[in-house]
Amino acid sequence: MPDKHLHIIAFDIPVPINYGGAIDIFYKIKYLHQAGVKIHLYCFEYDRKPSELLNSLCEEVHYFKRNISKTKLFNRKPYIVTTRDSKELLSLLLHDDYPILFEGLHTTSFLNDKRIRNRRKIVRTHNIEHDYYYNLAQVEKNLFKRYYFLNEAGKLARYEKVLDYAQGIAAISKNDTAYFSKKYKKAQTISAFHPNEVVSSKPGRGSYALYHGSMDVGENNQAAMFLVEQVFNDSEIPLIIAGNKPSKELKNAIAGRANIQLKTNINSDDIYELIADAHVNILPTFQSTGIKLKLLAALFRGRYCLVNTPMIDKTGLESICICRDTAESMKQELKSLFEKDFDLNEISKRNEILLCNGFSNDHNTQALINMLFY
C-alpha cells in the first residue's frame, strides 16, 4: 500500500504540552505517526520556540511567524484567523495533493481558496468558537479585552460558514457534533487526544480536593473563585488550586484561608501527580463548548470526579462523574465522598467507558484516518 501523507496546520506550536489545545494536537500527531501516517506539520509561532520533539514525529516541520499586529483587529475576518494567513504556507501545500487537516477555525484562512478546491480538507473544531468567545466576554473584567472578545465572537459567527468548503468536520464533543451537523451535514465526533493509555486511578483515599487549570483563562478563574467563595468558604476540607498565572483577585480571595492552597509555576507532571493523589477532583465550569482535557485527565488518573452539568452534559461521561449544580449540594457531596474509599469497582467502570466508548487514542486515531483517507 502507498504511504499515507498528511498536512497538519496547527494554530500554535504544540510543545510544551501544557494546555488543552496543545495536548490534543501533540497526541494526535503522536498517534497518527505511530499508525504510519507521514506528517507534514505547519505551526504558527508567537510565544513558543521550535521543538526538536516534533521533528522526531514528522516528515517535516515548518514554522511561520503569526502576525499579531493590532491593525489586524480591523479586518473583517476574525483576529484569530487573519493573524494566521500565510502565502508561504499555501505555496507549500500546493506541491502535492495530500489531505489537509486544519486545526481549528484559526487556521482556515485559505480553506475556500480555489487552488485547493479538489483537495481532501478536514477541519478539527476544538469549540464552537463564537460561543467560546462570547462566554469569555461574560467573565472578563478588563473592558478592552471584553470588547475584543465580543467583537471576535461576532466575526467568528459570520466567518464560520467557511466550513462549507471542508469535506468533513472532526468535532471534539457530541454537543459540538450536533451543532455542526445541523448546519453543515458533515461532522462526526472525534474526542480529544490525550496522554493516557489506561486508567491509572489509585484505589483508596486522598487527603484533599483539587481544582486545576490555566488560571489566566477567564472561565477557569471564574470556576476557582466559585469554589473559594461558595464551596470551600466554610469548609475544613483542604482544597488545592493548581495552575499558572493566577489573577490578583484569586490570590486575594485565597489569602488567609487555612484550608485553601494555591500552587503556581508548576509543570504537567506536577499537575498529574496532584490529580492522582487527590481524593476528589472538583471541576465546575460555566462554559459547555468542547470537551475539557482536564476532565479526561481527572478520569484517567484521579479518584472521585465532582462536576456540574455544563462540564459533562451529553459527553458520554455522565455515569463516571458525580454531578452537582449548586454550591450547597457540592458541599454535601464533598463531605460524603471524604468519608469513603475510592474502590476497584469505580476503576472498572472507567475502563469500560473510557476505553470502549470513543475516548481512547487508538479509537480516535482510526476514526480520523478514515475521515482523511477514505
Q: Where are the domains of the chain?
A: 5-191+358-373, 209-356
CATH superfamily of the 5-191+358-373 domain: Glycogen Phosphorylase B; (3.40.50.2000)
For 5, the grid coordinates are 501523507
| pLDDT tens for each residue of 165-221 | 999 999 999 999 999 999 998 999 999 999 998 999 999 999 999 999 999 888 999
| pLDDT tens for each residue of 20-72 | 999 999 999 999 999 999 999 999 999 899 999 999 999 999 999 999 999 99
The pLDDT of residue 291 is: 81
CA distances 301 to 57, 138, 202, 298, 347, Å, are: 26, 32, 8, 5, 10
The pLDDT of residue 287 is: 85
The pLDDT of residue 93 is: 97
- φ/ψ of 351, rounded to 5, equals -60, -40
The pLDDT of residue 185 is: 83
Whole-model pTM: value is 0.93
Q: Class of 209-356 per CATH? A: alpha beta
Give the Cα separation of 335 and 340 in Å (integer): 10
The pLDDT of residue 1 is: 65
Q: Amino acid identity, residue 119?
A: R
Low-confidence ranges of the chain (pLDDT < 50): none
